[in-house]
Structure 1
Amino acid sequence: MKPVVTITYCPKCGWLLRAAYMAQELLTTFEEDLGGVTLKPAEIAGSYQVFVDDFMLFDRKREGRFPDIKELKQLVRDRVNPGKSLGHSDRKTEG
């Protein structure tokens, strides 16, 4: 059974569009690797978390920020298909 990503977002904070964008990006990148992406309104204000099955990949409150899409794709890849190339998303940013 393929893993499922769940994005829990705060609807009162207006984060549905951010969650939907990230879900679209993950479904496009991991179309063969994921069983789906679920968007789940959070009951806790300010919550934005990303899970693969029951494993928490990212928590906005813990990190103090949102993940950027490149980072999120790398986190999902490392969990669901570590050998998968992400092309330009695997390149290190200079800085």
Structure 2
Amino acid sequence: MTTTSPAKPTITITITYCIGCNWMLRAAWMGQELLATFQEQLGAVSLVPGEVGGIFEISLDDELIWERKRDGGFPDVKDLKTRVRDRINPQQDLGHIDRAKSGE
């Protein structure tokens, strides 16, 4: 008997952080939040030690969705989850995050 398993997701989030600024824990926390919310859609979340100089970038596959200097600091986790959701599954309900936006 042959069984087929569902296709493994291939979407990858990469978080590159400044090693000199000690932003590894912030990067790991954001990665954990994304994995918890999108566990069925993501294939991997990678943490990449970056060069000293204040780098903090988040990419979804090859698309840069957050850059600390360009976007004015660190993303609020709600904004980050919304950006990821809008790219991988726009119909997905983010629970209380979406209800807070609509005023419910």
Aligned length: 94
> For residues 13 and 90 of structure 2, what CA distance do their matches in structure 1 show?
16
Q: Say which one has the larger Rg.
A: 2
> For residues 52 and 84 of structure 2, what CA distance do their matches in structure 1 show?
24
Give 2:45's match in structure 1, choosing from 37, 43, 67. Answer: 37
Aligned partner of 1:6 in structure 2 is: 14
> For residues 44 and 55 of structure 1, what CA distance do their matches in structure 2 show?
22
List aligned pairs for 1:69-88, cutoff 5 A: 69-88=77-96
List aligned pairs for 1:51-66, cutoff 5 A: 51-66=59-74
Of residues 42-51 and 23-32 in structure 1, the stretch that sits farther from structure 2 once superposed is 42-51
Percentage of pairs with the same residue: 52
Query: How big is the alpha-carbon RMSD for the aligned residues of Structure 1 and Structure 2?
Result: 1.4
Q: TM-score, normalised by structure 2?
A: 0.85
Q: Which runs of 5+ in 2 are unaligned?
A: 1-8
Q: Which runs of 5+ in 1 are unaligned?
A: none
Q: Please report how far the alpha carbon of residue 44 of structure 1 lies from its aligned counterpart in structure 2 after TM superposition.
A: 4.8
Hey, which bits of structure 1, 4+ residues long, moved more than 2 A? none
